């Protein structure tokens, strides 16, 4: 069964959604008196454990969009690695919060998807099987990070 190629309008809409969400999550606000920009993700991440999971789920929606429009496995993998690095280091108190301010995984993932879309004119969309594999990889990653957050929260409660 052939995969339906997204229309140019659908691709542009996806590009716009991803760019907007990445901006809100990583660079929506400028710290007064500086050129430093932050977004909602590092702010949400200040809430212990819960903030990291919520930030991960919001960030994962960018990867879901990439899977939905048929981005190739290599792009999805790089996006997942950005998410994993951001989420795992984000679990470390204080260091993770500082890392969130500088790494900006969502903007990185947005750029990766935009680069793919710029090359899209010659490349066919991913097969439904490939999309399922990409979605499965993302689901496993999110599950592992949520489990680590829950275990860390339980450990934190046990030590208090």
**pLDDT tens by residue, 51-109:** 888 988 999 999 999 999 989 989 999 999 999 999 888 878 788 878 888 899 999 99
Task: Output DSSP code: residue 39.
Answer: -
pTM: 0.74
pLDDT at 85: 92
Distance CA 156, CA 150 (A): 10
Reported as type and span, the H/E element at residue 131 is helix 128-159
Distance CA 42, CA 39 (A): 6
Distance CA 144, CA 84 (A): 10
> Residue 1 class from Cβ within 10 Å (0-12 exposed, 13-18 middle, 19+ buried)?
exposed
If DSSP states are collapsed to H, E and C, what string results for 68-85? HCCCCHHHHHHHHHHHHH
pLDDT, tens only, 111-120: 999 999 888 7
Contact predicate 62/18, CB 8 Å: yes
Task: Output DSSP code: residue 104.
Answer: -
Give the tokens for residue 3.
């995969």
Residues 6+ apart with CB under 8 A from 115: none
Sketch the domain layout of the chain as residue ranges.
Answer: 8-159
């Amino acid at each position: 069964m052939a995969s339906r190629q997204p229309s140019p309008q659908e691709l542009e809409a996806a590009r716009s959604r991803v760019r907007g969400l990445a901006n809100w999550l990583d660079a929506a606000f400028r710290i007064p008196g500086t050129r430093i920009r932050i977004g909602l993700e590092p702010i949400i991440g200040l809430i212990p454990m819960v903030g990291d999971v919520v930030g991960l789920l919001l960030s994962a929606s960018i990867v879901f969009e990439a899977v939905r429009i048929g981005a190739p496995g290599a792009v999805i993998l790089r996006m997942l690695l950005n998410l994993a690095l951001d989420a795992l280091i984000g679990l470390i108190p204080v260091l993770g919060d500082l890392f969130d301010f500088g790494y900006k995984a969502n903007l990185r993932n947005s750029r990766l998807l935009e680069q793919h879309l710029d090359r899209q004119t010659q490349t066919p969309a991913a097969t439904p099987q490939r999309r399922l594999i990409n979605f499965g990889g993302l689901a496993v990653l999110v599950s592992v990070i949520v489990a680590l957050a829950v275990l860390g929260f339980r450990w934190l409660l046990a030590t208090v």
